[in-house]
Copies of this chain bind each other. A is one copy, B any other.
Amino acid sequence: MSMGKPMANYAAAKRVGDFVFMSGVVALDPATRRAVAGYDDIPDIARTAIQGLGYATGQLSVDVFEAPIVAQSWFVLERIRTLAVEYGGTMENVVKLVQYFRHLHHYAPYNRVRGLFYPGEPPVSTVVEVSRFLPGDEVLVEVEATMYLPQG
């Protein structure tokens, strides 16, 4: 996991040779130190993009089940994109994703959100359902990214 304000005492990412390894990322809001819970926890521009996918309908009974995973998916991938930029790359340089879910049916909305970050083909990808993530049950997805960025 890695956040703006680190959730733990390890590195968010590290360059070794031509690679940048990233720690597993979860959607923890640095301000509240709580997991992202819904559309209010992401910026307007993200919400607009997500509405283009048919989510964030404004109807409580529809959003209540979809908002947590949709918003967390956006948050996690945006965090990876930010880290990629910090190290001088883009999402195209992120060549491998290991994606852990608490509930595998969350893959469908996650996959739509990932399409916003990878308009073309997504990178090499592994998907497994596991039991839980730090810091607790409300975290629904964790993504570990590997970036390839040959040294100039």
Contacts and interface: CB of A to CB of B under 8 A. Distances in A.
Interface of A: 1, 7-14, 16-19, 21-24, 28, 33, 53-54, 59-66, 95-96, 98, 100, 104-105, 107-108, 111-112, 115, 121-136, 142, 144, 146, 148, 150
A11 B108 contact: no
A136 B144 CA distance: 22
Contact of A61 (B66, B98, B134): B134
B10 A122 contact: yes
A88 to B, nearest CB: 16
Given A1-B61, A98-B144, 19 more contacts: A1-B126, A7-B59, A7-B60, A7-B61, A8-B61, A11-B121, A13-B124, A22-B124, A23-B124, A23-B125, A24-B127, A33-B60, A61-B107, A61-B134, A66-B108, A104-B131, A128-B133, A128-B142, A130-B131
